[in-house]
Chain A
Amino acid sequence: MDFSVVVEYFPRLLSGAWVSLQLVFLSVVLGGAFALPIALARISPVAWIRAIPFTYIFFFRGTPLLVQIFLVYYGASQFDAVRESIFWPILKEPFWCAIIAFTLNTSAYTAEIFRGAIQAIPEGEVEACKVVGMSKAQMYRRVLLPRAFGIVLPAYGNEIILMLKGSALASTITILDLTGMARTIIARTYTPIEIFLAAGGIYLAISIVVIALFRQIELRQNRYLGTLSIKVPDKG
């Protein structure tokens, strides 16, 4: 084992990590935005409205992310109609294909998390909103969604970690993310163990930061529950 290659190529690994972070950030933000309407449709009282998000979620949670990426990257470009459309400048870029696949994938998982959270709110709170005369929109905006946000946080943090690990699949469609960069370096230096372990270490470090961050947000968001976050400030 010769870890001097790790020192030498560390800046390039970090630039790969930056691409990974961009992939995760963009797809989590976009996926979260899509997930909310999907989750709301999923709990609709109308059966056929419920069926659409159910099928969507079932497909994206039941098939491997790798298949989904290949479907978007290789599958879409097979059709002339796609290649001649205005979306082609986006769909020919591996980076945006990965964003599309990740967004679709994470929105399906996140929608289920949101649904669970909305349904976990006690019936009494819904009734209380009705009693004080709130409209449905007011009830969601003022009570249900902020409450759901607090409930959702631990599961949502997990989903972001899963997305971070899933982002490694971007390397299979030629993107130089952390894993992709590691594979390129290895093709030149023939030191798979050292470089892959270094890449693993960076992923681990990012996960630990994300976990710590979510723990802080969770404490803050759920501070009305009391006793959870009582801290006596140090003197001096």
Chain B
Amino acid sequence: MIDLHGFGDQLLQGAVVTLELALCSLLVGLVLGLLGASAKLSSISVIRWIAHGYTTLIRGIPELLTVLIIYFGATSVLMAIASLFGYEEYIEVGAFAAGVTALGLTFGAYATEVFRGALQSIPKGQHEAAVALGMGTVRKFYRIILPQVWRIALPGLGNLFLVLLKDTALVSVVGLDDIMRKANIAVSSTKEAFLFYLVAAFMYLALTIVSMVLVSYMEKRASRGLARG
């Protein structure tokens, strides 16, 4: 067995933080993606332009830079807003919150394109049928449109989640105690860089494999209503 010098527990705790970060960012990103896609298909041109600006900006800037901008920038932005309301205390944005914001924004920008493609591929007849049955906009969306969009978007979203999972390592740069930072700590006290970074790599690989299995299960489930030819 490999000797982890007692850092095994620490690395596992890091894995929990990594997973929490990934899942929270996924949630934020999915909401942003749906909003972004609806905005891109909006009939109001200003809303379309905002969504377009959001995706172009986020997709053209390195994820590391997004994390750094949010981490260092959010504090001063929040304090500027708070001082408008007469609150002058120091506000600190933690690494976790900054990470969720940055990775959520990134995931959302890419998911916008995935959802937009899926929304556009729903035949017009489905919308018309739902309206003919007397469904309102909201009910039509979550009963008819969303389940179909979900099926079409899942493979793309699955890939994005794998990218997100790896991007979580970037948040260690601003001091979040994830797998990567725990490995850094272990390296600085044991000097066994190769061993610990390799262990970290295999932990990410394990998370990736588990996510791939889960996504393929969800894909099967989402398309169970489809006749196989």
Contacts and interface: CB of A to CB of B under 8 A. Distances in A.
Interface of A: 58-59, 62-68, 70-71, 74-79, 161, 164-169, 171-172, 179, 182-183, 186, 192-193, 196-197, 199-200, 203-204, 207-208
Contacts of A71: 193-194, 197-198, 201
Interface in B50-103: 56-57, 59-65, 68-69, 72-73, 76-77
B112 to A, nearest CB: 16
B73 A192 contact: yes
B65 A168 contact: yes
Q: Which of B60, B162, B187, B198 has the most CB of A within 10 A?
A: B60
B194 to A, nearest CB: 4
Given A74-B187, A200-B60, 7 more contacts: A63-B166, A64-B166, A71-B194, A161-B60, A172-B64, A179-B68, A186-B72
Report the 5 A-B pairs with minimum CB-CB distance, sorted nearest first: A168-B62, A75-B194, A192-B72, A74-B193, A64-B169
A72 to B, nearest CB: 9
A196 B197 contact: no
B180 A64 contact: yes
Nearest to B74: A193
B73 A168 contact: no
A75 B69 contact: no
A65 B166 contact: yes
Contact of B191 (A58, A76, A78, A186): A78
Interface of B is mostly: helix
B197 A75 contact: yes
A196 B72 CA distance: 9
9 contacts: A64-B201, A66-B170, A74-B194, A166-B62, A167-B62, A172-B173, A179-B65, A179-B68, A204-B60
B200 interface: yes
Contacts of B219: none
B115 interface: no
Nearest to A79: B194
A172 B170 CA distance: 10
B6 to A, nearest CB: 19
Contact of A67 (B68, B204, B209): B204
A197 B180 contact: no
Contacts of B198: 71, 75
Contact of B65 (A64, A66, A79, A200): A200
Q: Which of A63, A68, A77, A171 has the most CB of B within 10 A?
A: A63
